[in-house]
């Protein structure tokens, strides 16, 4: 049962979008069921990928983050298309569940979820995959839906296939498409590599806030390609208006084909990507329709976690906790209950996965433009005590368009106020046990903000971009290896070699 608090809250979030919420049920779809939610028919579609032990259940109720206003949910079929169904803008995301103690928990070493779009509607949703570009030996089927145009003019005809049982650290080749037997339409062959096993050193890319300058967003992805990251983690605000499908088309197109060679690909479809929503995504169906994010039972895709090498990464949408006033009500209650359970399990699992890193959008300890905003302070008051309780090592945020690193801190009294400041060593690395380090890395295209708008003892390092600096943005590369986690933050240059603007070394 959806709470009245959530209905009111979600209605306010969706005020920006003009969603069309029919029942979305595809004729002859045996996997769709219609439930009466009290405010109209709701179609719930279930997809259990072959060989996987989890189920994907998007809905079209227009309020739930589990797909938002998805329409025409249907499994793969071979009906003749009525127009061009050439696949494009293939994304590789993470499938699976959000309960780290249950079968089907998201595992990017062995599981991948492929999402793409076509110019016209079709239920064709197949993927062929193999370890050689000339031998795509496995075929997997998925499902399709339509994401409404929202505030733009683009209707997104979407398709998704999940694959399990892959081998860690292995490069796979694939193509997506389908259609009538004998006359299928397929994409170009692309490749991606599963996340390596924990025994191997690997690199993870972290960056946020891309929403203003397309060329900067593209350059950041060129850096991700050059670094060969195992996965990209993005804490929100990819586009300026999340409900505008046209913006998603532009931002995704910019990272699909290699700008230096259109016969090759950049990172879209080549690297795993896992975003979480920021305030500019506004819980819009267009955000949820574009990405494969692990799903929980309720408010799916607003929270997720994965183990990558030696690090447990947890991602949570902070809109609800920042804007709600009663955290005993959903969605905040469900999200925070999940977060505590997930971090409790991770904290007890440090022998196997020693580090815990959290990502959400609002910069909890900033000295820039949003540092004293009521919603930011509310988010600080909610999350900082939880991160203290489970000894989270590092937190990445965005929202303030800058690079900033805090000293190790613990929540103060009240927790929404100034924190208790811990210690760093002679190399400015956090002293273990004295608090959590908070990093704001929000320069993947967003317009620059000033740094140091307020003076706070908790702030250790601030680096601006734009405004007569050498940099047009910022991004971070995390090196995970054994009992070490090293963060190198970079000032992005329009040309030439980027500068390392900060280095953080953590050890367990």
Q: Which tokens is 267 given?
A: 């990172």
Residue 20 pLDDT > 90? no
> In angstroms, rounded to a whole number, what is the distance separating the alpha carbons of residues 451 and 501?
14
Residue range 224-237: mean pLDDT, rounded? 98
**Residue 1 lies inside a defined structural domain of this protein:** no
DSSP conformational letter for 274: E
What lies within 8 Å, CB to CB, of 118 at 6+ separation is 84, 85, 86, 87, 88, 124, 157, 159
Alpha helices in 155-300 (DSSP H): 214-227, 245-253, 285-290
What pLDDT digit, counting tens, does each position of 475-501 carry? 999 999 999 999 999 999 999 999 999
Name the residue with higher pLDDT: 69 or 365. 365
Residue 153 is predicted with a pLDDT of 87
pLDDT attached to residue 21 = 30
Is residue 373 over pLDDT 80?
yes
Residue 36 lies in a domain: yes
Interior/surface letters 486-503, b for 16+ CB within 10 angstroms, e for the rest? bbbbbbbbeeeebeebbe
Q: Tokens representing 356?
A: 């815990």
- What residues are paired with 440 via a beta bridge? 397, 404
Q: What is the pLDDT of residues 158-175, one digit of tens each?
A: 999 999 999 999 999 999
Instruction: Please tell me the predicted confidence (pLDDT) of residue 155.
Output: 84
| Contacts (Cβ under 8 Å, ≥6 apart) of 134 | none
Pairing of β 420-421 and β 409-410: antiparallel
In a domain, 161, yes or no: yes
Q: List the alpha helices (DSSP H) in 292-331.
A: 319-323
| Rounded (5°) CA angle 261-94-124 | 70
Q: Note the pLDDT tens digit of each residue in 286-298.
A: 999 999 999 877 8
Q: How far apart are CA 241 and CA 211, in angstroms?
A: 8
Report the share of the chain in percent with pLDDT over 90.
82
Closest CA to 248 of 222, 210, 279: 210
pLDDT tens digit sequence for 431-452: 999 999 999 999 999 999 999 9
Quick one: residue 122, left, alpha or beta (phi over 0 = left, psi -120 to 50 = alpha)?
beta
Q: Is the pLDDT of residue 89 over 60?
A: yes
3-state DSSP assignment of residue 110: coil
Does residue 300 fall inside a structural domain?
Answer: yes
318-335, pLDDT tens digit by residue? 998 899 889 899 889 999
- Identify whether 433 is part of a domain: yes
Contact by Cβ (8 Å): 143, 32: no
pLDDT of residue 38: 42
5 assigned to some structural domain: no
What local confidence, expressed as pLDDT, does residue 105 receive? 97
| Residue 247 CA: distances (Å) to CA of 150, 236, 323, 507 | 11, 15, 25, 41
Residues 498 and 403 sit within 8 Å (Cβ to Cβ)? no
Q: By the 8 A CB rule, do 460 and 405 touch?
A: yes
- Whether the predicted pLDDT of 79 surpasses 70: yes
Structure tokens at 179: 């259609």
Domain assignment present for 9: no
* Separation CA 224–CA 206 (nearest Å): 9
**Whole-model pTM over 0.75:** yes
Domains identified in the chain, total number: 1
Domain span including residue 276: 16-507
Of the chain, the percentage scoring pLDDT greater than 70 comes to: 90
Please state, in angstroms and rounded to a whole number, the distance separating the CA atoms of residues 385 and 435.
Answer: 11
Cα–Cα distance list, 275 to 27, 314, 365, 383, 452 (Å): 33, 11, 21, 19, 27
Residue 87 vs residues 175, 294, 482: alpha-carbon distances, Å: 9, 23, 40
pLDDT (tens digit per residue) in 202-226:
999 999 999 999 999 999 999 999 9
Phi, psi (5° rounding) for residue 506?
-115, 145
Does any domain span residue 6?
no
- Mean pLDDT score, 138-152: 92
Residue 298: predicted pLDDT: 81
- 42-46, 76-80, 390-394, 478-482: which has the minimum mean pLDDT? 42-46
Q: Which CATH number does the domain housing residue 366 bear?
A: 3.60.21.10
pLDDT value at position 64?
56
| Structural tokens at position 484 | 């070490």
pLDDT tens profile 33-74: 444 444 445 667 899 999 999 999 887 655 455 555 788 999
pLDDT at residue 393, rounded to an integer:
98
DSSP reduced 3-state for 464: coil
């Amino acid at each position: 049962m959806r709470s009245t608090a959530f209905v009111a809250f979600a209605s306010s979030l969706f005020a920006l979008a003009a969603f069309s919420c029919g029942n979305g049920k595809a004729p002859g779809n045996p996997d769709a069921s219609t439930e009466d939610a009290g405010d109209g028919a709701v179609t719930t579609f279930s997809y259990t990928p072959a060989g996987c032990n989890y189920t994907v259940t998007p809905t079209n109720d227009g309020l739930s983050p589990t797909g938002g206003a998805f329409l025409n949910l249907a499994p793969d079929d071979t009906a003749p298309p009525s127009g061009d169904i050439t696949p494009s803008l293939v994304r590789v995301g993470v499938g699976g569940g959000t309960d780290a103690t249950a079968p089907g928990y998201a595992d990017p070493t062995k599981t991948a979820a492929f999402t793409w779009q076509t110019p016209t509607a079709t239920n064709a949703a197949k993927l062929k995959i193999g370890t050689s570009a000339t031998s795509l030996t496995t075929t997997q089927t998925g499902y399709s839906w339509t994401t409404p145009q929202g505030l733009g003019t683009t209707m997104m005809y979407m398709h998704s296939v999940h694959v399990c049982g892959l081998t860690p650290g292995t490069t796979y080749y694939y193509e997506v498409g389908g259609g009538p037997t004998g006359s299928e339409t397929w994409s170009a062959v692309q490749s991606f590599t599963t996340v390596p096993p924990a025994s191997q050193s690997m690199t993870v890319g972290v960056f946020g806030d891309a929403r203003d300058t397309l060329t900067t967003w593209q350059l950041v992805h060129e850096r991700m390609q050059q670094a060969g990251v195992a996965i990209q983690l993005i804490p929100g605000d990819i586009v300026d208006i999340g409900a505008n499908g046209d913006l998603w088309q532009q931002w995704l197109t910019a990272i699909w084909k290699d700008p230096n060679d259109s016969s090759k690909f950049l990172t879209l479809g080549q690297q795993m990507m896992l975003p979480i929503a920021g305030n500019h995504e506004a819980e819009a169906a267009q955000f949820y329709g574009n990405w494969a994010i692990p799903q929980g039972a309720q408010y799916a895709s607003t929270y997720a976690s994965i183990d990558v090498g030696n690090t447990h990464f947890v991602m949570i949408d902070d809109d609800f906790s920042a804007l709600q006033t009663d955290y005993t009500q959903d969605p905040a209650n469900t999200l925070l209950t999940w977060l505590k359970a997930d971090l409790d399990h991770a904290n007890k699992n440090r022998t196997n996965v020693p580090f815990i890193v959290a990502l959400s959008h609002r910069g909890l300890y900033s000295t820039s433009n949003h540092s004293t905003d009521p919603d930011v302070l509310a988010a600080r008051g909610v999350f900082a005590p939880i991160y203290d309780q489970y000894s989270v090592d590092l937190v990445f945020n965005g929202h303030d368009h800058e690079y900033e690193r805090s000293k190790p801190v613990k929540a103060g009294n009240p927790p929404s106020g100034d924190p208790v400041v811990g210690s760093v060593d002679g190399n400015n690395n956090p002293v273990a046990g004295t608090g959590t380090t908070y990093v704001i890395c929000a320069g993947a295209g967003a317009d620059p903000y000033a740094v140091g708008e307020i003076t706070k003892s908790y702030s250790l390092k601030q680096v601006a971009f734009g405004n007569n600096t050498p940099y047009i943005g910022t991004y971070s590369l995390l090196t995970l290896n054994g009992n070490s986690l090293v963060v190198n933050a970079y000032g992005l240059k329009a040309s030439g070699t980027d500068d390392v603007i900060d280095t953080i070394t953590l050890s367990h």
